[in-house]
Structure 1
């Protein structure tokens, strides 16, 4: 070889080294900028995490104030604080949105962006919840659950952001900080839950158990953080949590559980807010330390890149000189390096097998998980761990993946040395030599028993009712969707039965929630027994159950026949007496059935149809079932429309009192009964029989009742200026809900004082439906009102099953004989005799008597022959407006 060839060789070698150096420089330059972008992204994620924490922190306060406001039944002080807090929460949310827009510059996983969208969608529901809170249309438990889910959605973004950290250490630090934010959320849930309890000064149904649960979860979260935190974090943690405030919180919690609510909701809320602010301060300190560490790590990492860039030219030259030596050493060390590349000191079990599948090495974690020592398994195959739960096809697919792809991972069930079967997550990699031949297999696995148990527990909480263990609404809706698709595919029918337990509320209120809960569980068991194993029996909440039954065939008539048989079977199963705590209860069911066939229906439409049919069964006397039809739907729509306009009726002065005069046995006017009329500007006169039940159901009857009391007192004041009317009494009907409202007595006393009316002239009419509630409470209210001079009338006497006992138990002044008895007096001797018996009994008890519905002179003649009673009915006067009544009285006086 001459010098020319040597020079050519050197030039070629220089070109190769130069090209290689530029190639390395290019790669390193890209890596340098990618590193800078990675740290910038991580810093943005930390700031995003801080914004999430800030928003959740304010949302937590809003949840607590909302719970306290609900528990206090609308206290204005809490309302003022709540409105201010909402403004702060909205401000923090806007700041969070700005952080989210900043993150759009970075390439983050689609799952992360989707989770952000889901969280924002959840936040958009906040407006409706806020309105329900202000209007007291939501329970504290429901409000707390909504805010908890809202906060959980945003907190769920934090672990996703941690996955994008540049190093495992930073990721773990982000996860630790995320756990601390979760601890503040648990503390805030405890703050809101007990704020509601302190405000209500009692434990409402389910709140005692919830208070215990949220406290335990809070403490568990703090312990979990402490267990996972670094030494520096633990030092800061101990410094914060040695504060007396945190010790006092547990003491106050124990006092509340024992029934001591003296601290009050405001002090409790402020006390816990200080604690939570401490936690947030701690979180901010950790974020600050994390940012400092991140900056230092970034400087070190970038410095390494810069050094590498500068030294890459030199490295290229020495790389060429050392290449021969490295190649010589590589073959000697390659097998050892291949095995040593697996981290044997990890907490995961590691198993190394040769080409024949014989075990040649395991790590200590393998011994701890499997129970086998290394000496016991060397030379054996992993088959000794088989549980028998995975079939041959499973192992065949595993080996095909190993041979063709070089790896396999998934879940598998193995058996420990002691025989216990456990689930594990296993990853197997095939190790190849320089000729691409497989030389070893390395398996890395971890025991996922706890993970499986947690997944099962979470699944049960998400899809099953915790009381009855039946599917909840969420799982029911999923199965309904599936049933609709199945109906479309197979052209078959299915059915949904909506079941509401009759009179369950009476048992629950009188016997307590323990009896009520056991009764609900037994009812759920009976529904399961009345259906097939493949049918779905779900509990929506309260005493409402839904049954989904599929595959009723392709014939509509046949489907209705089967559905009718099932409805009868369900009804009969609930008619049998329930034996709860050695006491018998008779609880029937009202059942509404909707037939599924049209796949274009939505699941909510189907449930609404079944619910409508159930209300039809209720109106038919309960303890029966009804099918949904369009007429029912129109009826419910009419009811909803009535309910919608009912709330505006008072404000727009659409109500008016009419008066039906009452006459004594000398045919002189002795008073009147006030009857409400609704004059709607578009629909005209709406019957009380249509809107009063709706008002009773939605609670608006209390506001209507207050208006009636004020209007009646105003009328009595006007009568007091007329010599003929000044001694008249005016009867007003009092609904059970109005009577039991806490403000009822106050409203009465305020109005008789305002209008200077004698309470004895305002007669309060009640029906037997009131008297089946809390008897002792009702007696106390009636006696208190009697002490102020009010009088009571028992309306529709004779239509109940235990009316006679009420006359001795309650301080009535008057009873009104129901018009159904009066109507039949002239052609039914039994009705006439019964009326005489009622009058005789009332006279013995010293009660005044009013005969309702006197329409014929023959009825009046018979009643006059008995004597000593008052009359009311169309024979004397129909209900009149105030002006018409005044004109009639003037005409009567002029005739005299």
Structure 2
């Protein structure tokens, strides 16, 4: 068999040898019994054998003793089933050299099937030089790894998506995360969003130049604290073209703390920690610029403590400093987070109020409110240890919007107003602009007059009829009017807003409800009026009282009014505060027989959920839709939709502000249930309404 094989191979020996010897690898061909039948010349420099020495030898001759038995088993498996390729993939193995030593080679196998049998071709590559190079690279890498791990700077490798791939212990310490945690994160999960634009520029720099930095930013550590960083980096590419970023990350907390300390000494008052005069000018400049962009008023308040010199003279400057520190603390608590509190020096403080309002009167009103809060806080005795001190103040105020007035002029104006406040008796506020002061005074006067009006019962109710489709009066809406002793009859637009803001609406609303129920009780004894319903508007403040339902029940009991004839009109703003609490109040009153109408429907949030969940009886189409129902297709569509929605939910619907017959005809066509408006009657005093109803 061996002779036949040899003769067959010898026929092409010269051509095979030419092919074998042309390649860099050693080539062996063995039969299915593992006997070597051909060997190329490259065998000798790799394994030490001359080709002739291997012919007729078992392939196991080249396998170290420790692997020989295992090798024979794998060879047999490969011969039997070459598709498994257990030995057919090029890989590193340990071979036995002629001198008995082991050497590492790379081998590839391929099976050859022929008419004379199955053979295995082995390609053996000398990788000693490569292994030596790899060992050298590995040693160099170990040195780099040593430096990498011992570096006090964070070193991190990220992909272009920002995922952390490699990093040293210093980087872990900077971030506060473990290695496993970091590999599950990317830099966006540590980077505050305020750096989005800066990060985009970094990526642009990398694309253009291949590097970035130095660049300062912050990371949010695992414990939630913020650490300031300084970064430098470069973009690198892998052999497959994929790009990565190496970054050096330096914790600059200590440097920042030093800078902050220097800045604090330069721009902050050493006693109170508030911005000093130098920083105030910069902050005020920004506030003025912001007001110009937003077109909203801001204000500068100059606050001078009254008779502070007496404290210094009688109790000493140490106690005086403690009082100033306490005043600074109280001022910061008295204003909003965006507002600025600064100390000019001595006992003078400045408060800069920002984003007040776009309307000058409203802005002035807000300034007065905040200033009065400050005066009230300071007017209370300041407690320091076992001692207390009375510490009132005089406040001068100057409003600004944009750069019409310079910083210096604003401070001068506020200073003049402050001295005027002192001349007025101290412990008060004075506006630089007489017009603004007049507006604030008018508002204060209106508030005082409203209080007097409540005490002296200067209010009355007017009644506007509500008409059915058959032109019958089915109810009325009670509307408050103020019988002012000097200005005559005042409509709600002239005082309701102030009543809401001052809380007087609670007393006013209680009076309206009580008076309306008295009228219902009176009508119950008059056959032609006993079936009328009476609608009363309830404000959000009023309905928001915890005991509102109890108040209504008490009024019904004391007046004897029929709860089934009372209808409370609520706006959508009332329903959007606390759905659970609102539902409880409404259900409590509904159980007594009180009805509910949803006023101004369609002008607010108009959530269908509260129509489903709350015990509402009626929707009221707002006059803004009714007014243009014949002119604006959108208003027409909204009106039809509200009517259809109400009917689908088994609710009645009433349209307010009906002024023309054409409007009524449109609403009739849309199947509106009832109407209210000047087409039928304006709001009337009680005697005129009763005559109107009797004549109808």
Task: Report the structure, 1 or 2, having the larger helix content.
Answer: 1
TM-score between the two structures when normalised by the length of structure 2: 0.44
Task: Report the structure, 1 or 2, having the larger strand content.
Answer: 2
Which structure: larger Rg? Answer: 2
TM-score between the two structures when normalised by the length of structure 1: 0.34
